[in-house]
Amino acid sequence: MAIVLKPATLLDTPIEYLKGVGPLRSEALGKELNIHTFKDLLYFYPFRYVDRTRIYKIKEVNAEMPFIQLCGKITHVEISGPKRKQRMEVDLVDSTGRIQLMWFQGINWVSKKLRPDTEYIVFGKPSSFRGILTISHPSMEEMTMENLEMVKGLQPVYSSTETLKSKSLDSNGIMKLQRTLLSKIENELTETFPTYMLEKLRLMPRKEAMRNIHLPSGIEKLNQAQFRLKFEELFYMQLRLLRNKTDREVTVKGFIFSKVDTYVNDFYRSYLPFPLTEAQKRVIREIRTDMGSGKQMNRLLQGDVGSGKTLVALLCMLIALDNGFQCCMMAPTEILATQHFATLKEFLKDMPVRVALITGSTKESARKILHEELENGQLQIIVGTHALIEDRVKFKHLGLVVIDEQHRFGVNQRARLWQKNDTPPHILVMTATPIPRTLAMTLYGDLDVSTIDEMPPGRIPIKTLHKFDTKRSEVFSFIKKELQKGRQAYVIYPFIEESENSDIENLVHGYEEIQKAFPGNAVGMMHGRMKFAERERTMKLFAENKIQILVATTVIEVGVNVPNASIILIESAQRFGLSQLHQLRGRVGRSTYQSFCILMTPYERGVDARARINIMVATNDGFQISEEDLRLRGPGDMMGTQQSGILDLKIANLAKDSAVLRQARIIASEVLGEDKKLGLEKNRLLLEQLRQMDKEKGDWSRIS
Ligand code: ADP
Ligand code: MG
């Protein structure tokens, strides 16, 4: 007996059963567009719309026009050229003139469909081909009342693929399916917002919005539909994040750090090497308030490279110590952990604080002792890498966890730290990669955010220059002058895993070239495939100025601090992303010397690469750069977004819809402010939606 699984709702029906689909097309839809059910198709929104309200006369057409619509008859068809480079030219005429239509592909198929003396609606982009006005690969519909009805007005454009097109599922084909679908399911499209919200926010009802997003009845309606659906998506995302945050604040107790005592006071009075900036003071106050509130702190500290986050973290750790707690500070790489350890030790060298380092290279015998000291509470601050989250590491009183460069830690790893206590420690996440506000609101929407928006005084802004490869000798003599003044330089090569071998070759070649060009200087080389001990040795030589030029890959990208280095030369800069370039640039400008960042590229470089380099030359502001980065790449390629659920967004775009997002967040927090548990009858729909989302999406956002 065959078991027939009945779908829970009509929307879960396999797409195969939609009229006009069937097994072959449904297989292609699944493979090519990930459309398996009615619902998947419904949420497959057009990526743009074209205005087909007007039919132009041929004599009005010129090559500068965008997509336009004509109406006419075919008078002449000619196929020419050798078999594999064939082209088809077709003449179209109306009462005002003649225009050429042109095909380079699919000629067999198109030519069979075209018939003389038949009127067609032709839609495409005019251009000029060898001085003649033509439209290449236009879409053609026979001029019938039904077709005219279908194409007129604003027409949606859906993305499609060659495979789907061969099954007649081009954009028009998909539009036809959407029509069929909408008429079938319209009554299933229940409202997801309570009436009071619809009214207050003047939102278009869901049913109407779904119809208008696929089959807009005018520009005004389309705008309303888009707003409604974007708002819905962002509102529920924010509601969920904020609900989780409130839940956690209610259910999870935090340690109360009530005092500021000798550790903080002694350090502040006697050992603080420079006055704190106003921004540093402000974020320390924010953090202190959190840690004294009885709630568990979950705070993101963001600040551009060099803004002085480490010192803020240190002061917070001293507060924990004053209250009898231990701290741990976690970094994503051994180099960084080692460096943090050195920095903290230097800051604390005259204070009675026990600080230690644990990394993958810590010897087993040494580890055993450290583990014991953590368990009996003697060891107060431990710095380390992932080695810290192994189960056998136990603390007596872990009170504060500082995580540096958090996007490199997976959600699970953070969760394991969290579980080390009955009462969870306070968590301070630091990131030197400024993130655009919209991303911060979503990626870290359930964290509180502190921002250091001020640099320590006395810094001279880094000068950034773009040079072509052909100017290498000029660049080298410039570097020579700086070295003669006693400065040091980085030379960075790209290192992208897929092309590892050629990248290593380039690096080694560059290293040899630099050695030849700078015979009077010591040159070092560093890349990710070298052993850690070897890298560390090289880094140390560079820090001590025993090496003047360090030729390296992006292993030095984050955190490395050698203030005497004042030049960074980035080879093949067109291959780096914006935030990576900005991070690399942050390796210089760490002292009172004028620093330089030189971006080298070949003359040929893509449009995006040009844009990235122009932005780098134009600004040093990490926040501005991150906004541009989001705009250029979209959220999918930004750090940390993969695991966040942001990529599930179907219609909202974080780079473009920041205004909608801000509004959604405000409204969501108003709703929760009035009704924390969403227990009021008027909010019943909201609660149901959240439960549904929890079921579908799992619980990632509860962990941080
Ligand atoms: P980041 O925020 O990139 O981690 P760091 O904490 O490494 O920055 O600080 C960069 C440099 O600035 C360090 O050498 C640090 O000692 C110094 N610094 C931090 N705070 C101040 C301050 N208030 N005044 C002057 N220098 C500071
Ligand atoms: Mg840092």
Taking the CA atoms of residue 147, residue 152, residue 154 and residue 160 in that order, the dihedral angle to the nearest 10 degrees is 20
Cβ 50 vs Cβ 155: under 8 Å: yes
Lowest mean pLDDT among 139-148, 192-201, 204-213, 524-533: 139-148
**Which residue minimizes the CA distance to atom 1 of ligand 1?**
306
437: Cβ–Cβ under 8 A, 6 or more apart, which residues?
A: 658
Half-sphere exposure of 604 (CA within 13 A, CB side): 0
Report the candidate in 675, 571, 583 with the shortest Cα–Cα distance to residue 626: 583
Q: Ligand 1, residue 280: give the atom nearest the CA.
A: 23
The CA 619 to ligand 1 mean position distance, Å, reads: 20
Residue 489 in this model has a pLDDT that exceeds 90: yes
Q: Ligand 1, residue 310: give the atom nearest the CA.
A: 6
Q: Residue 519: what pLDDT?
A: 94
Q: Considering the chain, what is the average pLDDT of its residues?
A: 87
CA 258 – CA 594 distance, rounded (Å): 43
Q: Which ligand is nearest to the CA of 403?
A: 2
Residue 700 in this model has a pLDDT that exceeds 50: no
Distances (CA, A) of 260 to 279, 284, 352, 651: 20, 12, 16, 49
The length of the chain in residues reads: 704
Residue 169 in this model has a pLDDT that exceeds 60: yes
Q: Determine if ligand 1 sits within 6 Å of the CB of residue 298.
A: no
Q: Determine if ligand 1 sits within 6 Å of the CB of residue 622.
A: no
Query: Percent of the chain having pLDDT more than 90?
Result: 53
Residue 704 in this model has a pLDDT that exceeds 60: no
Q: Residue 669: what pLDDT?
A: 93
Q: With both helix axes pointing from N to C terminus, report the angle between 607-618 and 578-585 in degrees, rounded to the nearest 10.
A: 30
Q: With both helix axes pointing from N to C terminus, report the angle between 622-633 and 578-585 in degrees, rounded to the nearest 10.
A: 160
Matching residue, tokens 């009021």: 680
DSSP secondary structure string, 490-546? EEE----GGGHHHHHHHHHHHHHHHHHH-TTS-EEEE-TTS-HHHHHHHHHHHHTTS
Q: Residue by residue, what is the 3-state secondary structure of 256-321?
A: CCCCCCHHHHHHHHHHCCCCCCHHHHHHHHHHHHHHCCCECCEEEEEECCCCCHHHHHHHHHHHHH
The CA 311 to ligand 1 mean position distance, Å, reads: 7
Q: Which ligand is nearest to the CA of 303?
A: 1
Q: Determine if ligand 1 sits within 6 Å of the CB of residue 279.
A: no
Task: Give residue 567's pLDDT band: very low, low, confident or very high (50, 70, 90).
Answer: very high
Lowest mean pLDDT among 111-115, 212-216, 248-252, 285-289: 248-252
191: Cβ–Cβ under 8 A, 6 or more apart, which residues?
A: 198, 205, 206, 207, 685
* Pocket-testing residue among 310, 338, 459, ligand 1, by greatest number of atoms within 8 A of Cβ: 310
Q: Residue 596: what pLDDT?
A: 97
Cβ 68 vs Cβ 56: under 8 Å: yes
**Which residue minimizes the CA distance to atom 4 of ligand 1?**
309
**Which residue minimizes the CA distance to atom 18 of ligand 1?**
308
Residue 228 in this model has a pLDDT that exceeds 90: yes
Cβ 465 vs Cβ 596: under 8 Å: yes
28: Cβ–Cβ under 8 A, 6 or more apart, which residues?
A: 163, 164, 167, 169
Partners of 430 in the β-ladder = 301, 404
Q: Determine if ligand 1 sits within 6 Å of the CB of residue 284.
A: no
The CA 162 to ligand 1 mean position distance, Å, reads: 54
Q: Determine if ligand 1 sits within 6 Å of the CB of residue 572.
A: no
**Which residue minimizes the CA distance to atom 20 of ligand 1?**
308
Residue 411 in this model has a pLDDT that exceeds 60: no
CA 370 – CA 374 distance, rounded (Å): 6
43: Cβ–Cβ under 8 A, 6 or more apart, which residues?
A: 650
CA 221 – CA 177 distance, rounded (Å): 21
Residue 465 in this model has a pLDDT that exceeds 90: yes
**Which residue minimizes the CA distance to atom 25 of ligand 1?**
456
Q: Determine if ligand 1 sits within 6 Å of the CB of residue 434.
A: no
CA 642 – CA 635 distance, rounded (Å): 9
**Which residue minimizes the CA distance to atom 23 of ligand 1?**
276
The CA 336 to ligand 2 mean position distance, Å, reads: 8
Q: Ligand 1, residue 404: give the atom nearest the CA.
A: 4
User: How does DSSP classify residue 461?
Assistant: P
Report the candidate in 56, 74, 78 with the shortest Cα–Cα distance to residue 65: 56
Lowest mean pLDDT among 240-249, 323-332, 475-484: 240-249
Lowest mean pLDDT among 58-72, 534-548, 573-587, 633-647: 633-647
656: Cβ–Cβ under 8 A, 6 or more apart, which residues?
A: none
219-256 b/e (C-beta count within 10 Å ≥ 16 → b) = eebbebbbbbbbbbbbbbbbbbbbbbbbebbeeeebbe
Q: Determine if ligand 1 sits within 6 Å of the CB of residue 211.
A: no
| Listed ranges 474-478, 491-495, 573-577, 649-653; the one with the highest mean pLDDT | 474-478
Q: Determine if ligand 1 sits within 6 Å of the CB of residue 340.
A: no
End-to-end CA distance of the chain: 48
Report the candidate in 170, 96, 174, 175 with the shortest Cα–Cα distance to residue 137: 170
**Which residue minimizes the CA distance to atom 24 of ligand 1?**
456
CA 472 – CA 603 distance, rounded (Å): 13
Q: Residue 227: what pLDDT?
A: 97
The CA 415 to ligand 2 mean position distance, Å, reads: 23
The CA 497 to ligand 1 mean position distance, Å, reads: 32
Report the candidate in 332, 385, 408 with the shortest Cα–Cα distance to residue 640: 408
Residue 256 in this model has a pLDDT that exceeds 90: yes
Higher pLDDT among residues 413 and 160, named by residue? 160
Q: Determine if ligand 1 sits within 6 Å of the CB of residue 305.
A: yes
Q: Which ligand is nearest to the CA of 563?
A: 1
User: Which stretches does DSSP call E strand in 130-247?
Assistant: 132-136, 139-142, 153-157
Task: Give residue 558's pLDDT band: very low, low, confident or very high (50, 70, 90).
Answer: low
Lowest mean pLDDT among 12-26, 125-139, 436-450, 468-482: 436-450
Distances (CA, A) of 638 to 90, 349, 503, 559: 46, 39, 23, 19
Task: Give residue 109's pLDDT band: very low, low, confident or very high (50, 70, 90).
Answer: confident
Q: Ligand 1, residue 563: give the atom nearest the CA.
A: 14
- The predicted model scores a pTM of 0.70
Helix or strand (DSSP H, E) at 146: helix 145-151
User: Which amino acid would we find at residue 674?
Assistant: E
Structure tokens at 665: 């967040």
Helix or strand (DSSP H, E) at 590: none
* Pocket-testing residue among 274, 335, 582, 595, ligand 1, by greatest number of atoms within 8 A of Cβ: 274
Q: Which ligand is nearest to the CA of 343?
A: 1
Matching residue, tokens 């001293």: 318
Q: Residue 703: what pLDDT?
A: 37
- Collapsing DSSP to helix, strand or coil, 429 comes out as strand
Q: Residue 234: what pLDDT?
A: 93
**Which residue minimizes the CA distance to atom 10 of ligand 1?**
306
Q: Ligand 1, residue 343: give the atom nearest the CA.
A: 16
The CA 368 to ligand 2 mean position distance, Å, reads: 29
Higher pLDDT among residues 588 and 626, named by residue? 588
Lowest mean pLDDT among 136-140, 177-181, 290-294: 136-140
Q: Determine if ligand 1 sits within 6 Å of the CB of residue 302.
A: no
The pair phi, psi for residue 154, each rounded to 5°, is: -80, 125
Residue 639 in this model has a pLDDT that exceeds 80: no
Cβ 506 vs Cβ 493: under 8 Å: yes
Rg (CA), the chain: 31
The CA 597 to ligand 2 mean position distance, Å, reads: 19
Task: Give residue 388's pLDDT band: very low, low, confident or very high (50, 70, 90).
Answer: confident
CA 277 – CA 312 distance, rounded (Å): 10
The CA 456 to ligand 1 mean position distance, Å, reads: 7
Residue 412 in this model has a pLDDT that exceeds 50: no
Task: Give residue 187's pLDDT band: very low, low, confident or very high (50, 70, 90).
Answer: confident
Structure tokens at 648: 């599930």
Lowest mean pLDDT among 13-27, 67-81, 88-102, 620-634: 620-634
Largest Cα–Cα separation, the chain: 96
The CA 526 to ligand 1 mean position distance, Å, reads: 25
Cβ atoms within 10 Å, residue 679: 9
Using CB atoms within 10 Å of the CB of residue 135, give its burial: 0 to 12 exposed, 13 to 18 middle, 19+ buried.
buried
Q: Determine if ligand 1 sits within 6 Å of the CB of residue 645.
A: no
Distances (CA, A) of 145 to 12, 115, 148, 159, 561: 34, 18, 5, 26, 72
* Pocket-testing residue among 284, 302, 311, 593, ligand 1, by greatest number of atoms within 8 A of Cβ: 311
The CA 560 to ligand 2 mean position distance, Å, reads: 8
Q: What is the mean pLDDT of residues 155-171?
A: 90
Q: Residue 686: what pLDDT?
A: 96
Q: Which ligand is nearest to the CA of 315?
A: 1
Chain segment 299-309, per-residue pLDDT in tens: 989 888 788 99
Q: Residue 321: what pLDDT?
A: 97
Q: Residue 389: what pLDDT?
A: 73
Q: Determine if ligand 1 sits within 6 Å of the CB of residue 342.
A: no
Q: Determine if ligand 1 sits within 6 Å of the CB of residue 310.
A: yes
Helix or strand (DSSP H, E) at 78: strand 68-80
Residue 595 in this model has a pLDDT that exceeds 70: yes
CA 289 – CA 287 distance, rounded (Å): 5
**Which residue minimizes the CA distance to atom 13 of ligand 1?**
308
Q: Determine if ligand 1 sits within 6 Å of the CB of residue 311.
A: yes
**Which residue minimizes the CA distance to atom 5 of ligand 1?**
308
Residue 414 in this model has a pLDDT that exceeds 60: no
Q: Which ligand is nearest to the CA of 559?
A: 2
Q: Residue 580: what pLDDT?
A: 86
User: Which stretches does DSSP call E strand in 165-282?
Assistant: none
Higher pLDDT among residues 446 and 576, named by residue? 576
529: left (phi over 0), alpha (psi -120 to 50) or beta: alpha
CA 219 – CA 580 distance, rounded (Å): 40
Structure tokens at 429: 């996440």
Helix, strand, coil content of the chain in percent (nearest 5) = 45, 20, 35
Higher pLDDT among residues 483 and 218, named by residue? 483
Domains within the chain, CATH numbers bracketed: 54-151 (2.40.50.140), 262-452 (3.40.50.300), 463-619 (3.40.50.300)
Q: Determine if ligand 1 sits within 6 Å of the CB of residue 307.
A: yes
Q: Ligand 1, residue 458: give the atom nearest the CA.
A: 25
Cβ 401 vs Cβ 350: under 8 Å: no
Q: With both helix axes pointing from N to C terminus, report the angle between 171-185 and 206-214 in degrees, rounded to the nearest 10.
A: 160
